[in-house]
């Protein structure tokens, strides 16, 4: 079961003026489940995004990036049940046909539509089912459909993921709402996830793009479930400009900083929900690296720990076999690392120092921490002033079961 995710209710997700969402059951993989989402945006909405770093990226990623670069976006279409990845030129044609079909319903150009897909890789997209479902989704368009939208983008997720925030800019209330999906094939540099965040704030397109890159780096690029980078990742930020305040035009302004902080908080909470709902997860683990020479080496150590199957299975077993963490630090790739200067903490307990077991450490202390559903692994490198953290989960029997049964 998901680790300490509060129950999401429809009233928790606030509507965004200028954004409407519609859902359909298109039968893309299974019948009688929400699997198609359409998002309609008022004219003048700024849209930007960041995408997977996987070179074998999916057809909808290719088309979405092309359309974002060339058009004023009026709509998004998201299908689950099929990734439309590893499908060659046919997949590109299917993604573009989906955009054209929704554009016709919206009365706009196909280049003004962004397509997104998630599901099984290397299977043809049932494009007729997607296109036939679009009129139903469009008929369902409603500003209050954020909760249904969060349900419609789920694949192996157990729970829908969404969060809203409100701030005040120049005396005007500003709302931010985001939804995300993701549970497996999750690793930094985006994960097998889709995230959609919208705000009614008014901000230039260039600053909006700067904002999403920062938010992604602080959130979705700091999570790992299994170390696999998906073909379909996308995180989209939309700003409708309908909150009523003056447009944010300067990155040095307090309004930009305030909005960026709020958007980043939404992104972090969504990213952590993905880890808490990791396939088969029973533990939520924060890996915190301190006193490194620079951020990059802190990331190297953090990723080595977060990606290790031996460490993740030990956490599942609540087994304080903490030598596995020392081993991961040692192979993280820091060639000039002085292991005698490192301090390793499990929660508040000092486990290792001076190259070995801390004299005061007792295994029952480690056992007590390992029994908790939320655990912090803290590594102090004592090499500088840089620090970072990321979030991961354990590996359980259910992870294998979920992924061995994924296509059935």
Torsion-angle region of 32 (φ positive above 0: left; ψ -120 to 50: alpha; else: beta): left
Nearest by Cα to 328 from 399, 398, 227, 230:
227
* SS3 letters across 292-323: ECCHHHHHHHHHHHHHCHHHHHHHHCCCCCCH
What are residue 247's phi and psi, to 5 degrees? -60, 135
Distance from C-alpha of 387 to C-alpha of 381, rounded to nearest angstrom: 9
Distances (CA, A) of 29 to 26, 79, 234, 405: 9, 10, 21, 14
How many other CB atoms are there within 10 angstroms of residue 11's CB atom?
A: 9
Distances (CA, A) of 99 to 131, 152, 257, 379: 9, 18, 35, 48
**Residues labelled as active-site residues:** 192
Distances (CA, A) of 202 to 13, 114, 214, 229, 251: 20, 21, 18, 33, 13
Helix or strand holding residue 104 (H, E):
helix 88-106
Which residues, in sequence order, are bridge partners of residue 286? 376, 391
Distance from C-alpha of 176 to C-alpha of 238, rounded to nearest angstrom: 10
Nearest by Cα to 139 from 216, 49, 38, 53:
38
HSE, CB side, 13 Å, CA atoms: give it for residue 247: 13
Distance from C-alpha of 312 to C-alpha of 325, rounded to nearest angstrom: 10
Helix extents (H) in 247-361: 254-276, 295-307, 309-316, 323-330
């Amino acid at each position: 079961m998901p680790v300490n995710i509060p129950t999401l209710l429809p009233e928790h997700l606030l509507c965004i003026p200028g954004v409407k969402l519609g859902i359909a059951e298109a039968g893309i993989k299974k019948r009688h489940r929400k699997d198609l989402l359409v998002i309609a945006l008022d004219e003048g909405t700024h849209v930007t995004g960041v995408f997977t770093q996987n070179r074998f990226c999916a057809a909808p990623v290719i088309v979405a990036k092309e359309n974002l670069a060339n058009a004023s976006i009026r709509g998004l279409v998201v299908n689950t049940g099929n990734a439309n990845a590893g499908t060659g030129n046919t997949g590109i044609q299917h993604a573009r046909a989906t955009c054209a079909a929704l554009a016709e319903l919206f009365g706009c150009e196909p280049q003004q539509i962004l397509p997104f897909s998630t599901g099984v890789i290397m299977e043809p997209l049932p494009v007729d089912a997607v296109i036939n479902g679009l009129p139903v989704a469009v008929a369902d368009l409603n500003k209050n459909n954020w909760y249904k939208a969060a349900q419609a983008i789920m694949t192996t997720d157990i729970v829908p993921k969404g969060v809203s925030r409100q701030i005040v800019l120049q005396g005007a209330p500003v709302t931010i709402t985001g939804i995300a999906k993701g549970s497996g094939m999750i690793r930094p540099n985006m994960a097998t996830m889709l995230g959609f965040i919208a705000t009614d704030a008014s901000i230039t397109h260039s600053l909006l793009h700067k904002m999403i890159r920062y938010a992604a780096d602080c959130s979705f690029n700091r999570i790992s479930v299994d170390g696999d980078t998906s073909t379909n990742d996308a995180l989209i930020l939309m700003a409708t400009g309908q909150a009523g305040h003056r447009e944010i035009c300067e990155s040095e302004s307090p309004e930009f900083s305030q909005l960026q902080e709020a958007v980043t908080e939404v992104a972090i909470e969504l990213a952590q929900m993905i880890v808490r709902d990791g396939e088969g997860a029973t533990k939520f683990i924060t890996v915190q690296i301190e006193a490194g020479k620079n951020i990059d080496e802190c990331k190297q150590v953090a990723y080595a720990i977060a990606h290790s199957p031996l460490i993740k299975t030990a956490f599942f077993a609540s087994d304080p076999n903490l030598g596995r963490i020392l081993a991961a630090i040692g192979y993280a790739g820091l060639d000039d690392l002085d292991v005698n200067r490192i301090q390793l903490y499990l929660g508040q307990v000092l486990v290792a120092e001076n190259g070995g077991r801390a004299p005061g450490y007792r295994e029952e202390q480690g056992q007590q921490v390992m029994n908790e559903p939320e655990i912090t692994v803290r590594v102090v490198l004592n090499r500088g002033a840089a620090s970072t953290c990321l979030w991961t989960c354990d590996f359980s029997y259910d992870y294998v079961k979920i992924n061995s049964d994924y296509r059935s």
